[in-house]
A and B are shown apart, each in its own frame.
Chain A
Amino acid sequence: MQTEMATPEVRTGQRPPVIDCDIHAEVPTVEALFPYLPPYWVEHITHTRFKGPIDTYYPPQSPVAARPGSLPPQGPAGSSLELLRAQVLDPLNVEVGILVCTYAIDSLHNPDAAVALARAVNDWLAEEWLAKEPRLRASIVVPCQIPQLAAQEIDRVAQHPGFVQVLLPARSYFPYGNRIYQPLWEAIARHDLVAAIHFGGAPGTPPTPSGWPSYYFEEYAGMAQVFASQLTSIVCEGVFDLFPTVKVVLLESGVTWLPPHLWRFDKEWRNLRRLVPWLKQPPSAYVRQHVRLTVQPLDAPADPQALLAVLAQLGAEEMLLYASDYPHEHGVDPETVLFPALPEALAQKIRTENARALYRRL
């Protein structure tokens, strides 16, 4: 794996510069990973016509997966660096953009395949994206279903300065606070990485507490509940007490569900804190210190005053980060919907300052 990055150069644009914390890089086909796979897996995949982990949680041609105009001549939306430059990095004046590759490594039950493909994806990200574009950083893809092997992959990839966080799909087989994940959290802390929990995940279990819904619309709107459950678990199990330097960023989670969740969480903690005596402060305090969220998508009332009231309920100017979520489309552009309603200082924090404070490896 190449560990050098392309030379940075200064670019300017019309918009104020942003740090974009959620840009998607799509593996076009499993064959694109062949240069990064050992011969055994190249042969195996070729002979078996295995298509790679294809349990996608993005319907391929819907706006959620591909905003209008984002499809390259070949391959899926999000697979072209040229289009990314033309549609995001240049026009949105992206100072730094962090790649997220949601290749469904977590759906693979064969652990050897999961490890091999995770390694291949990370090497592919380093070669095909980071080495070619100095504004980009990336998230480490891991076989999170096998935490000790995920930790080994983190140890391997963290040597590359372009990787700034570890990607964890929101839907997991166990919630991430569970102590089976301890090796994963240790590795994240060891390398000063951020734990990035992202929309989706393909553990094979249902996405709701009442089983499988019929429509993607339900999974999409319901993912906020899964994020809430992950936060509950991570705080309750004392991850932030064991690893006080660790930060968690929620990508594509929405924002406005969080204040009411914290009210309930604090209240239940006051009643039941004897069950989790290692917690030193109310759950909301842990979340405000350790958790960040991107403003894409933004589920909020249209009225700017009502929007400000929601942000006041959240009560933490340090918590929000800018993200385009390219090439996904959620029907909200922070520059037109959010920022005009905000004091300029807060907008500036969301555009760049909060991300700079969060990502120590930037």
Chain B
Amino acid sequence: MVVTQTQPRPPRARTRPPIIDCDLHNELDSIKDLYPYLSQRWRDHIETYGVRPFAGSYYPRFWPNRADARPPSGRQSGSEVGFTRQHYLDPYNVAYAILIPLTPVGRQPNQALDAALATAVNDWQVAEWLDQDPRLRASIVVPFEDPPRAVAEIERRAADKRFVQVEFTGRPQEPMGRRKYWPIYEACARHGLHVVSHAFGSYGQPVTGCGWPSYYLEEHIGPAQAMQANIISLIAEGVFDHFPIKVVSVENGFGWLPSLMWRLDRSWRLLRSEVPHLKRPPSEYIREHVYLTTQPMEEPPDPRHFLTLLEQYGDMVDHILFASDYPHWDADEPDTALPARVPEAIRRGILFENARRLYNLP
């Protein structure tokens, strides 16, 4: 037998069961990565006027992205598909990963710039990520504060089935259910695309309903509260009565959902005369339309309380999807993220099957 020289593979890759990662970040090393996909007009504009950064830069952080995820080239962690493949996708046996780029799109008051950036990001995703690895799927980045242009971008991408959802930041200018955004949901419904809301990013509002907190630690806890406001809005405005879309909550945690469902149902019984257009208790809309990813994994000090949480999810446990958040500092390790006591069927659902079904993957 002839021994051929193959790429060295990490030893454990074959022993790991396949997983689907619903939050993999493809990073820009700098805005210049987009220049090949921008017209001269916008390159000149960016050189002269700059772009507003992805919100969240108000706090000195403690950690940057994972240092071990930095490519040998020295570029930003997560900014080279080759290194992401070698460092993460291959060794962890990632069957599919959904790309969620965090970019300045959605934050630019200049809406034409916002739209040009969105188109550039999506072209970059196609050329430098989707075309480079068949396991990748992506989120369509859209200028969601400018719905007609957002819809145009969705139409431009929808034929490419590797785009599986449309991306919102955590804190758009208005709560996500407001009518302003409905043309986007209509386009999603038309093309069978999901809507994803990824934590962080804002149009400039604080992360709380009571003003700006002082520390990045607080900013980093806040998305759990922000996403609840968006879910409440999506239900209250009747989005789910009009559009058969699924909404995926990413990096907001999932422990708060049962309490939110109890609270919404009780509130609805009290105040339903104000929202007579709602045909069903709010929890039923959630059960049908809302999915949540795991990272940052809930870690109750008593592991039994995690099992109680899964019991509270009940039938909806198949709406929980694994996400790593690679290559960010707080990324979850696929091998150890889920507590050991989680029953095997639920574990396989979270790590693979639930996402396979939601995204209709082979």
Contacts and interface: CB of A to CB of B under 8 A. Distances in A.
Interface of A: 59, 62-64, 170-179, 201, 203, 205-218, 220-226, 228-230, 232-233, 236-237, 254, 256-257, 259-261, 263-269, 271-276, 284, 297, 299-301, 306, 309-310, 312-313, 315, 329-332
A228 B263 CA distance: 14
Contacts of B205: 206, 209-211
Contact of A268 (B206, B220, B237, B275): B220
Interface string B314-331: 000000000000000110
Contacts of A256: 258-259, 262-263
B233 interface: yes
- Which of A211, A259, A312, A315 has the most chain B CB within a 10 Å cutoff? A211
Given A209-B229, A213-B233, A259 B300 contact: yes
B232 interface: yes
Interface stretch (B11-19, B76-84, B168-176, B351-359): B168-176
Interface of B: 62-63, 170-178, 202-203, 205-218, 220-222, 224-226, 228-230, 232-233, 236-237, 253, 255-256, 258-260, 262-264, 266-271, 273-275, 296, 298-302, 305, 308-309, 311-312, 329-330
B214 A236 contact: yes
Contacts of B233: 208, 210, 213-214, 218
Contact of A272 (B217, B259, B311): B217
Given A210-B175, A211-B174, A233-B218, A221 B267 contact: yes
A209 B211 contact: no
B214 A237 contact: yes
A225 B233 CA distance: 14
A332 B263 CA distance: 12
Given A218-B232, A261-B256, A329-B270, 15 more contacts: A62-B270, A170-B210, A174-B212, A203-B210, A210-B230, A212-B174, A214-B175, A216-B271, A226-B208, A237-B215, A254-B263, A266-B301, A275-B62, A330-B266, A331-B270
A30 B237 CA distance: 36
7 contacts: A205-B211, A209-B222, A210-B175, A222-B232, A272-B215, A312-B305, A330-B270
Nearest to B308: A309
Contacts of A209: 170-171, 202, 205-209, 222, 225-226, 229
- Which of A177, A223, A297, A299 has the most chain B CB within a 10 Å cutoff? A299
A62 B273 CA distance: 9
Contacts of A313: 300, 305, 308-309
A209 B329 CA distance: 24
B16 to A, nearest CB: 25
A217 B215 CA distance: 30
A236 B213 contact: yes
Contacts of A178: 211, 213-214
B330 A271 contact: yes
A297 B228 contact: no
B209 A260 contact: no
A264 B262 contact: no
Contacts of B63: 271-272
Contacts of A237: 214-215
